[in-house]
Amino acid sequence: MDELVPATAFRIADLAARQDEVVRIAEKRAIDRQHAKGKLTARERIGLLLDPGSFVELDQFARHRCAEFGMDANRPYGDGVVTGHGTVDGRQICVFSQDFSVFGGSMGEASGEKVLKVMDLAMSIGCPVVGINDSGGARIQEGVVSLAYYAELGRRNAHASGVIPQISMIMGPCAGGAVYAPAITDFTVMVEETSHMFVTGPDVVRAVTGERVTAQELGGAVVQSEIAGNAHHRAADEEDAIEWVQTLLAYLPANNLELPPEYADDTEAVVTPADLALDRLVPDSPNQTYDMAELVAALVDDGEYTEVHSAFAPNMICAFGRVQGRTVGVVANQPRHQAGVLDIDASEKAARFVRFCDAFGIPLLTLADVPGYLPGTDQERGGIIRRGAKLIYAYSEATVPKVTVVVRKAYGGGYAVMGSKHLGADVTMAWPTAEIAVMGAEGAVQVLHRRELAELPPQRRAAVHRRLTEEYRERHGGPYLAAERGYIDQVVTPSQTRLQVARALRTLRTKRQTLPAKKHGNIPL
Ligand code: HXC
């Protein structure tokens, strides 16, 4: 009887053989296929992302149960996705990484179950989840079963939204309905040349519309990061993409109930030469521009920050940085691009960022220099009313500490929207260079004194216009009318700003605010 039971040593050897099949043999094949396409394998990507030796793989023996199209003759272990957990810089995350070398990384029943399981684990332990996408989408042989898993994944992404940070890496194709799972996640990074995302690929586009377009033109990393805004970062290569994700994770809490990691505060408690340089940042002429990125760098620890969506709507900067060792989300108009105007893309970009920060307890630092909303038929027909409203909604709903600095222009709707007191900012500051008004002085005089100016002899018109503009600027153009009413708490010297912002954020650390209970709001979508 005894001799029919496999010996322990045999069973252990059998496990080793199976693991060899899952990891070494499959990996050799994966390396051949992936490297030929200039891509890393699913396991190599996990290896680079996680701390060495920290990866714990789940379900490595999962196999599909499909018998259609001769699938029963080919049942590889793992089923085209590697899932598990490990650490990044010592902090727990969950990860899934699609393996394009197995059924094109497509999602079927077994691989779907694996992804859902690791998502559920991330939710139950409260840690970020990183999904590495490289897939032909729904597994065609498995039919509706694979569609079911995409929908299940989308539901989990939605439920996890605002609870755990979700990051998507697009490292190859991501097509069809498969794009919607990454779209729901908080941040998406794409790799130049080797990745693309689209709802319908070039062949379908050609068949339906007759348009000839390449995969890169349709949904490559350049298009998605600059024009469509579906990618928050465009990486030069896979290593760059992984580094960006690691950097991003270092700013984020594990979940919505925890604080972001805190780093040592070695910032200077006195005005530094870099602070003094801020006194010269804003040029004398209102028509001259400057780089808002310099102010962002001056206000955050070590001048270090990480932009999200840097190539999309560059008239708005959204970035994570730290002030006295603690994460802040910076939202800033960039006068270098379109004078920092608010348009549809900038509004949506900032609104989503503000909502992310609010969901994860990250204080907001707003730097305003905004001439208002962009006029024009493109914007109006594109829905700037509904889409621009998102930013008002997001700021108003945000209960995290909110500190705003008006640097120069804060005109019209731009004043109201960019983290104003009226939308619930806790501390509002303005530089003496601030121009808080319904519109710029030139435009205001044109409207208010049009008739009077028209009646003047032409030779006197310019001089009177100049005088009226000066008077308007004097009375309405500065920060003092707003300060008089308490809309601005402090008018600060630029060189004092870093210290004042740090002090404000420190004061606000214990802020608690709750809004009326409701099922959920109805943000204009
Ligand atoms: C099963 C697939 C597959 C899929 C690729 N493969 N996609 N197997 N289901 N969806 C397999 C291929 O048969 C091939 O197998 C291997 O993966 C590599 O594919 P190639 O075509 O050789 O690679 P490449 O030339 O790089 O092209 C990649 C690709 C192309 C552009 C992704 O494979 C493709 O167009 N696939 C179909 C994409 C698609 O229409 N998916 C459905 C989307 S709808 P062998 O054995 O030859 O190596 C969807 C709905 C989600 O996802 C619903 C959400 C609600």
What is the Å distance from ligand 1's center to 136 Cα?
3
Provide the 8-state DSSP code for 342. Answer: B
**Listed range (356-360, 419-423, 444-448) with the worst mean pLDDT:** 444-448
Length of the chain: 525
Beta bridge partners of 129: 94, 166
* Across 255-282, average pLDDT: 95
Q: What is the pLDDT of residue 3?
A: 62
Place of tokens 């200077």: 268
What domains, with CATH codes, occur in the chain?
2-64+74-251 (3.90.226.10), 273-438+478-509 (3.90.226.10), 441-476 (no CATH)
Q: Quick check: 348 pLDDT over 80?
A: yes
Q: Quick check: 341 pLDDT over 80?
A: yes
Q: What is the pLDDT of residue 287?
A: 81
Kindly state the tokens that stand for 325. 């060792």
* Across 470-499, average pLDDT: 94
Please name the residue whose Cα sits nearest to atom 17 of ligand 1. Answer: 104
What is the Å distance from ligand 1's center to 404 Cα?
48
Phi, psi torsion values for 388, nearest 5 degrees: -70, -30
* Across 274-301, average pLDDT: 95
Q: Quick check: 5 pLDDT over 80?
A: no
How far, rounded to the nearest angstrom, does the alpha carbon of residue 369 sit from its chain's CA centroid?
22
Q: What is the pLDDT of residue 500?
A: 98
Please report, rounded to a whole number, the percentage of residues in the chain having pLDDT higher than 70.
99
Phi, psi torsion values for 353, nearest 5 degrees: -65, -45
Q: Check if 153 has its Cβ closer than 6 Å to any atom of ligand 1.
A: no
The three state secondary structure string of 170-213 is: ECCEEEHHHHHHHHHCCEEEEECCCCEEECCCHHHHHHHHCCCC
Place of tokens 């804060």: 410
* Across 390-403, average pLDDT: 98
**Listed range (74-83, 221-230, 379-388, 466-475) with the worst mean pLDDT:** 466-475
The residues, ordered by sequence, that sit 6+ positions from 286 with a Cβ below 8 Å of its Cβ are 408, 409, 435, 440
Question: Which atom in ligand 1 lies closest to the alpha carbon of residue 138?
Answer: 52
Question: Which atom in ligand 1 lies closest to the alpha carbon of residue 154?
Answer: 55
Q: Quick check: 187 pLDDT over 60?
A: yes
Q: Quick check: 210 pLDDT over 90?
A: yes
Q: What is the pLDDT of residue 343?
A: 97
For residue 257, name the pLDDT band (cuts at 50, 70, 90). very high
SS3 assignment, position 92: strand
Closest CA to 430 of 484, 354, 372, 374: 484
* Across 494-501, average pLDDT: 98
Distance linking the first and last C-alpha atoms of the chain = 70
Q: What is the pLDDT of residue 443?
A: 85
Q: What is the pLDDT of residue 177?
A: 82
Place of tokens 């996990």: 46
Q: Quick check: 1 pLDDT over 70?
A: no
- What separation in angstroms does the CA of 196 have from each of 99, 107, 161, 226, 345? 16, 17, 24, 13, 21
Question: What's the mean per-residue pLDDT of the chain?
Answer: 95
Maximum separation of any 2 CA atoms in the chain, in Å: 118
Q: Quick check: 440 pLDDT over 90?
A: no
Q: Quick check: 420 pLDDT over 80?
A: yes
DSSP β-ladder status, 187-191 and 129-133: unpaired
Provide the 8-state DSSP code for 282. Answer: S
On the CB side of 493, CA atoms within 13 Å amount to 8
What is the Å distance from ligand 1's center to 139 Cα?
7
Question: Which atom in ligand 1 lies closest to the alpha carbon of residue 151?
Answer: 55
Cα(23)–Cα(337) distance, integer angstroms: 49
For 33, counting Cβ atoms within 10 Å of its Cβ (0-12 exposed, 13-18 middle, 19+ buried), the class is middle
**Cβ 404 vs Cβ 429: under 8 Å:** yes
Query: pLDDT for 31-81, tens place per residue?
Result: 999 999 999 999 999 999 999 999 999 999 999 999 999 999 999 999 999
Q: What is the ipTM, given to two decimal places? A: 0.97
Q: What is the pLDDT of residue 2?
A: 57
What is the Å distance from ligand 1's center to 106 Cα?
7
What is the Å distance from ligand 1's center to 142 Cα?
13
For 240, counting Cβ atoms within 10 Å of its Cβ (0-12 exposed, 13-18 middle, 19+ buried), the class is middle
- Test site for ligand 1: of 35, 39, 81, 140, most ligand atoms within 8 A of the Cβ: 140
Claim: this prediction has a pTM higher than 0.90: yes
Torsion of CA 391, 393, 395, 397, to 10 degrees: -160
Q: Check if 151 has its Cβ closer than 6 Å to any atom of ligand 1.
A: yes
The string over 370-391, giving b where at least 16 C-beta atoms fall within 10 Å of a residue's C-beta and e elsewhere, is bbbbbeeeebeeeebeebbbbb
Query: pLDDT for 106-135, tens place per residue?
Result: 999 999 999 999 999 999 999 999 999 999
Provide the 8-state DSSP code for 152. Answer: H
Task: List, in sequence order, the alpha helices (H) in 252-325.
Answer: 273-277, 292-299
Query: pLDDT for 330-339, tens place per residue?
Result: 999 999 999 9
Please report, rounded to a whole number, the percentage of residues in the chain having pLDDT higher than 90.
91
Query: pLDDT for 222-232, tens place per residue?
Result: 999 999 999 99
How far, rounded to the nearest angstrom, does the alpha carbon of residue 368 sit from its chain's CA centroid?
20
Q: What is the pLDDT of residue 446?
A: 87
Q: What is the pLDDT of residue 344?
A: 98
Q: Check if 172 has its Cβ closer than 6 Å to any atom of ligand 1.
A: no
What is the Å distance from ligand 1's center to 175 Cα?
9
